[in-house]
A and B are shown apart, each in its own frame.
Chain A
């Protein structure tokens, strides 16, 4: 007898969207190709972008986003927008995961200037929206997200590959690392008035890690501008690393020669390293990393799943760490 076991990613026929509903889905007002032409005209492009329905905007000013099929694994079931935007670690806005959402409402992220500097040929101070236009708009990628606290989500990020920004900055040969600095605004941000962490938040990557195709700068979630509590308007996304590497609300990107420290390493070097690669075989000193809780699944009692090496991106990134002792370089 043949018993067919459905694959975890298989959907029943009943879950398919009826064609009539599919055809009714919102379409971009400006087709993508035309949009790319339009952005060349600067302000006019922005005006056109702001006419788009909000569901299709991926940055502060609103940019049409398009799913990148290479980063849309049908086996990944995205976590609900509600949970992604209400369960956050963002100590600038409070240390409880429910704090950032209420505490960050009304905090101004527009206009937003980001400074790109250090060992590069093209240092600039640039408006976040202008930067997105320079990067050719945004695309959507669905990535796994694994927090160092052993919980996980699946997040549809909108944004652009970090490699594009690096090409734009044009690093000098001496540049070996890249750093990301979060804002410092104790006047308007309650958490920064207390010395919970060594403000401002600071993160870094090796330049080859940053240039990897998976490294991403997010400007949106689910096609909407990224909310304040998730790190508006520009947030680093490195899906094979623990969530604390994803520097939020970036104001400064620096290219440097020496390996930088990062905020959590400064706080507790025995618990958080520079690499912070997701690794089920290397435990946190206080808990195991072998499995993770899937946020929003399985009802009240939840569901746990095995954590994958490099968070499931082993095939793509393992070569970056060839020959390295990952228990030492955690």
Chain B
């Protein structure tokens, strides 16, 4: 049943768009009881982007580890869609942050971008941008499968930078980073181990 639903594109669309509507909600409350609604929105958009990035990175290890599981098969149909959604949320996060820091000029923003906390976020965003642009069918054909695949492996670098960026965002280490990216690390490690074992078995 969940696999049947997850196979449908519109279901995935709803799942991807819903957390974005929630993020915008505090901006349009008549009297903001939230002291800094734009900050809440930008943090939320960044959080959604990080979660979706972690989610999409679980798809292929799930398929390798449980190839006959219909949910894993259904999810793999939507890798590209979820990946583009990660970029969309990251873009909104960057736009909201720019509005938040804008103080009549961009000097503060540019100065801040040089700090490791913000630079890691920016580089991760740049990687996501390149991956999104090259996710079109035409780009895949042009690059060729092998080169395209190698290019898209940069998503792991983007994830590593995101982990640093998210951990550095708070004054003390936020445990949520572990909840979000821990499962990905476990699954990726299991996949790596499985693939290695299969290789030695066939050799």
Inter-chain contact A287/B100, CB cutoff 8 Å: no
Q: A83 at interface (Cβ–Cβ under 8 A)?
A: yes
| B111 contacts across to A, CB distance below 8 A | 283, 288, 290
Q: B187 at interface (Cβ–Cβ under 8 A)?
A: no
| A271 contacts across to B, CB distance below 8 A | 171
Q: B102 at interface (Cβ–Cβ under 8 A)?
A: yes
Shortest distance from the beta carbon of B119 to any chain A beta carbon, whole Å: 10
| B34 contacts across to A, CB distance below 8 A | 98
> In the complex the two chains form, what is the Cα distance from A124 to B28 in whole Å?
53
* Contact residue among A287, A293, A299 (Cβ-Cβ distance under 8 Å from B112): A287
Q: Which of A271-330 contact B (CB under 8 A)?
A: 271, 283, 285-288, 290-291, 293, 295-296, 299-302, 304-306
Inter-chain contact A95/B170, CB cutoff 8 Å: yes
| B168 contacts across to A, CB distance below 8 A | 286
Q: B20 at interface (Cβ–Cβ under 8 A)?
A: no
Q: A86 at interface (Cβ–Cβ under 8 A)?
A: yes
> In the complex the two chains form, what is the Cα distance from A306 to B34 in whole Å?
22
User: In this complex, what residue of A is CB-closest to B111?
Assistant: A288
Inter-chain contact A304/B104, CB cutoff 8 Å: yes
Interface centre among B26, B112, B116, B168 (most CB of A within 10 A): B112
Given contacts A197-B172, A304-B102, contact A291 B108 (CB under 8 A): yes
Q: How many residues of chain A get a CB closer than 8 Å to chain B's CBs? A: 33
User: In this complex, what residue of A is CB-closest to B32?
Assistant: A300
Q: Which of B147-203 contact A (CB under 8 A)?
A: 168, 170-172
> In the complex the two chains form, what is the Cα distance from A300 to B31 in whole Å?
9
* Contact residue among B33, B36, B104, B172 (Cβ-Cβ distance under 8 Å from A151): B36
Given contacts A301-B38, A302-B36, contact A287 B170 (CB under 8 A): no
User: In this complex, what residue of B is CB-closest to A299?
Assistant: B32
> In the complex the two chains form, what is the Cα distance from A299 to B37 in whole Å?
9
Inter-chain contact A286/B115, CB cutoff 8 Å: yes
Q: Which of B101-143 contact A (CB under 8 A)?
A: 101-104, 107-108, 111-112, 115-118
Q: A183 at interface (Cβ–Cβ under 8 A)?
A: no
Inter-chain contact B38/A86, CB cutoff 8 Å: no
Inter-chain contact A83/B35, CB cutoff 8 Å: yes
12 pairs across A/B with beta carbons < 8 Å?
A: A86-B33, A87-B36, A97-B35, A98-B34, A287-B115, A288-B111, A295-B35, A295-B36, A296-B35, A300-B27, A302-B36, A302-B37
Q: A82 at interface (Cβ–Cβ under 8 A)?
A: yes
Shortest distance from the beta carbon of A43 to any chain B beta carbon, whole Å: 41
Q: B5 at interface (Cβ–Cβ under 8 A)?
A: no
| A299 contacts across to B, CB distance below 8 A | 32
| A126 contacts across to B, CB distance below 8 A | none
User: In this complex, what residue of B is CB-closest to A298?
Assistant: B38
| A264 contacts across to B, CB distance below 8 A | 171
Known: A83-B35, A300-B27, A300-B28. 13 other contacts (CB 8 A): A86-B33, A98-B34, A196-B172, A267-B172, A268-B171, A286-B115, A286-B116, A290-B108, A293-B39, A304-B102, A304-B104, A305-B103, A306-B103
> In the complex the two chains form, what is the Cα distance from A271 to B117 in whole Å?
13
Chain A residues with a Cβ under 8 A of chain B: 82-83, 86-87, 91, 95, 97-98, 149, 151, 196-197, 264, 267-268, 271, 283, 285-288, 290-291, 293, 295-296, 299-302, 304-306
Q: B17 at interface (Cβ–Cβ under 8 A)?
A: no
> In the complex the two chains form, what is the Cα distance from A283 to B32 in whole Å?
29
DSSP class of A's interface residues: helix, strand, loop or mixed?
A: loop
Q: B99 at interface (Cβ–Cβ under 8 A)?
A: yes
| B115 contacts across to A, CB distance below 8 A | 283, 285-287
Shortest distance from the beta carbon of B96 to any chain A beta carbon, whole Å: 10
User: In this complex, what residue of A is CB-closest to B26?
Assistant: A300
Inter-chain contact B118/A300, CB cutoff 8 Å: no
Shortest distance from the beta carbon of A268 to any chain B beta carbon, whole Å: 8
Shortest distance from the beta carbon of A93 to any chain B beta carbon, whole Å: 15
Inter-chain contact B117/A300, CB cutoff 8 Å: no
Given contacts A196-B172, A302-B100, contact A293 B36 (CB under 8 A): yes
> In the complex the two chains form, what is the Cα distance from A291 to B34 in whole Å?
20
Q: Which of B17-31 contact A (CB under 8 A)?
A: 26-28
Q: CB-defined interface of B53-79 with A at 8 Å, one 1/0 digit per residue?
A: 000000000000000000000000000
Shortest distance from the beta carbon of A300 to any chain B beta carbon, whole Å: 4
Shortest distance from the beta carbon of A97 to any chain B beta carbon, whole Å: 7
> In the complex the two chains form, what is the Cα distance from A97 to B36 in whole Å?
11
| A286 contacts across to B, CB distance below 8 A | 115-118, 168
> In the complex the two chains form, what is the Cα distance from A274 to B34 in whole Å?
31
| B117 contacts across to A, CB distance below 8 A | 285-287
> In the complex the two chains form, what is the Cα distance from A296 to B37 in whole Å?
9
Shortest distance from the beta carbon of A248 to any chain B beta carbon, whole Å: 16
| B33 contacts across to A, CB distance below 8 A | 82, 86
> In the complex the two chains form, what is the Cα distance from A306 to B33 in whole Å?
24
Inter-chain contact B112/A301, CB cutoff 8 Å: no
